[in-house]
A = this chain, B = another copy of it.
Amino acid sequence: MSKKGQVKKAVLAYSGGLDTSIILKWLVEEYGCEVVAYCADLGQGEELDHVPEKAKKTGASSCHIVDLKEEFARDFVFPMFRANAIYEGRYFLGTSIARPLISKAQMEIAAKEGADAVSHGATGKGNDQVRFEISYYHFDPAIKVIAPWREWDMKSRTALEAYAKKHGIEVPTSKKFPWSSDRNLLHISFEGDILENPWAEAPEEMYVLTVRPEDAPDQPEFVDIEFEKGDAVAVNGERLSPAKLMAKLNELGGKHGIGRVDLMENRYVGMKSRGVYETPGGTILEEAHRAVESITMDREVMHLRDSLVPRYAAMIYNGYWFAPERLALQALIDNTQQTVNGKARIKLYKGHCRVVGRDSATDSLFNVDFATFEADEVYNQADAEGFIKLNALRLRIAAIQRSAKK
């Protein structure tokens, strides 16, 4: 145990559930180190009240509960939505964007606590281990990272439950769903079990944040969302903090069954994986944001930005939120949002939302008042001939060259 013996104090990302409870105990047993439990509140909607007692009972020297909801919405979700970032055309990156913040707060506690190690409950086949650890190393390149799933030899649920029983860890008796999930203010994800059959439809009982579209109201509902510099600031005229705004949109989207996505995605570690997601508020937010951009953003700016979004989304998906290339792209993205001020009206109905109106009092590039100019000074139809002729010139020259060749 020489290597393991080197750790004095570890901060563990702890949820109070079975897996991280076992990890907590395992760290104490295997590393013989002090373990500080840490639980981030990102709006997962679970009861966190008894987590500290549970942690201490399982062997933690202390337990930190940190409310990160506003920071999450403001500094992570919103900057990402300024780019309309979607991974592989469908996934709103709800888990990916949470991991860097969880890691950041964990490293802050590690620094405060003088811990020399951090630990997490992500498995060795997934993306989350990468996202956690790349972020850890960004904050402290010398931190010791303990990833129990890659280390221990417990490979089955039975083995885990045996370990729990042996160490007096309470195993929940309530029937747990056979798939795994991750929830926060932006989304809930599901993977595993029946989803491993790519042809099988996800079962209705899986869904948590959204009603079945068939059960949604029979009347459409309209929602107006206001943006300032690319960030949503008000819903139906009411200004809301970022986290409250997300909660409001989740409520609206959930009620109308909006934001369900069923995806086969490419993990960073190299395999494909089926995921099902509910992102009710985020789906509405993206539709509204694009709509306000559509009336306020320059064409070439939009096309340039859009061509970079697949790369930006992959950076977030892969765990590079704190990397300098993400920051460089963010500088571009934020620059493009200075004029994104205005509002959009979104229609919500039976699992779908779509924009029906958009406007900007200050930055509309549409239909601006040409009154002070002669119509012909702003747009003279005759100009189109020259525009077309010169744009076609290289094609005409090529055609001449082709015909000369024959």
**Interface contact A306-B310, CB-CB below 8 Å:** yes
Within 8 A of B (CB), among A350-380: 350-352, 354-359, 362-370, 372-373, 377-380
Task: Report B-chain residues with C-beta under 8 Å of the C-beta of A72.
Answer: none
Task: Report B-chain residues with C-beta under 8 Å of the C-beta of A265.
Answer: 294
Does any Cβ of B come within 8 Å of A303's Cβ? Answer: yes
What is the chain B residue whose CB lies nearest that of A123?
A: B381
**Interface contact B270-A133, CB-CB below 8 Å:** no
A394–B84 Cα distance when bound, in Å, is: 23
Does any Cβ of B come within 8 Å of A1's Cβ? Answer: no
**Complex interface bits, A72-109 against B, C-beta within 8 A gives 1, otherwise 0:** 00000000000010001110000000000000000000
Could you say how many copies of this chain the assembly holds? 4
Contact check: which of B359, B362, B399 meets A138 at CB < 8 Å? B399
Task: Report B-chain residues with C-beta under 8 Å of the C-beta of A171.
Answer: none
A310–B137 Cα distance when bound, in Å, is: 27
Task: Report B-chain residues with C-beta under 8 Å of the C-beta of A386.
Answer: 380, 382-387, 389-390
Task: Report B-chain residues with C-beta under 8 Å of the C-beta of A372.
Answer: 142
- Sort A-B residue pairs by CB-CB distance and give the 3 closest, nearest first: A386-B386, A124-B381, A270-B393
Please name 11 further chain A to chain B contacts, defined as beta carbons within 8 Å, in addition to the given A130-B388, A350-B350, sorted by A numbering: A88-B294, A125-B384, A134-B392, A137-B392, A201-B357, A213-B349, A270-B397, A307-B311, A369-B400, A378-B393, A383-B385
A-B contact pairs, 19 of them (CB 8 A): A84-B89, A88-B294, A138-B396, A141-B399, A196-B367, A198-B364, A213-B350, A261-B354, A264-B294, A269-B384, A270-B379, A271-B366, A272-B366, A298-B398, A303-B310, A352-B352, A365-B394, A373-B400, A387-B387
